[in-house]
Amino acid sequence: MEKINNVAVIGSGTMGAGIAQVAVQHGFTTVLYDIEEDQVKQAKHSIFKRLDRLVEKGKISEDQRDSAKNLLFLTTNIEEVGQVDLVIEAAPEKIEIKHSIFEKLEAVCSSTAVLASNTSSLSITEISGRRDHPNRVAGLHFFNPAPLMPLVEVIKGMHTSEEVIETLRAFAVQLNKTPVFCKDTPGFIVNRVARPFYNEALRMAQDQVASVEQIDRIMRNIGGFKMGPFELQDLIGIDINYATTTTVYDSFSGESRFRPSSLQKQMVQGGRLGRKTEGGFYEYKPM
């Protein structure tokens, strides 16, 4: 398989924008796609703002920032991603949305393009199952915030070729990320391990064993975590975390250890999703 020179990111939410930023910072021409023009423009604004902050902090030079900005292109036309070497889908965690996107990608992309999903827990085999060329579909799961987190999970579906896996491994290394290889199992590695971290904290809060603030403080100060489980949910998005837990729970046929929290479900129903709604387990000032 040829070397990756240019990429497209499908979905300009928190993860999509973060992945696009990483790509342009490392010299990849990147097309950022979304169905909503206002959404993709907001993503561009956020990316440019973060790049400017990196210059202010002395992390990158002004030339590096300007070069990165010049590599970013926006579109609401899916056909404009057809010439890239790699597509990274970062749409909401709903399997029918994934199927619809990959169907469109297969129609517009070249036969040699790699089609990757940033899904955190859905089956790569299921995503690729309806495709004419499932061998070029794989998982490439970044972690939030993508510009900072060093780990990337590379997931091989039942039909994914070894060539595609090697291409994605090399791409992750070019982004200065650490790739880890995963089987196509619910939650992969990190999200499967992380379920007890969130779920037990939620149960403790719901049972009033300790407050949200106390649990976070203990996990930071005693456990050595950079963020407590509630702070981290607010950063990731409580809705995203809940969706991941639900997927893992369903995929393991309702094993009790993965059962979603009713408290977390209630937060989602109430629209308190974390930083992006200026309120989750904590309150936040407008950006």
Active centre residues (catalytic)? 120, 141, 153, 191
CA 66 distance to own-chain centroid:
25
* Nearest CA-CA partner of 184 in 242, 251, 250: 251
Q: Is the distance from CB of 35 to CB of 14 less than 8 angstroms?
A: no
Sheet holding 137-142, edge to edge: 72-75, 29-33, 6-10, 86-89, 114-117, 137-142, 151-156, 178-183
State the sign of the Cα–Cα–Cα–Cα dihedral 146, 147, 148, 154.
positive
Question: How far is Cα 148 from Cα 150, in angstroms, rounded to an integer?
Answer: 6
Pairing of the two strands 178-183 and 151-156: parallel
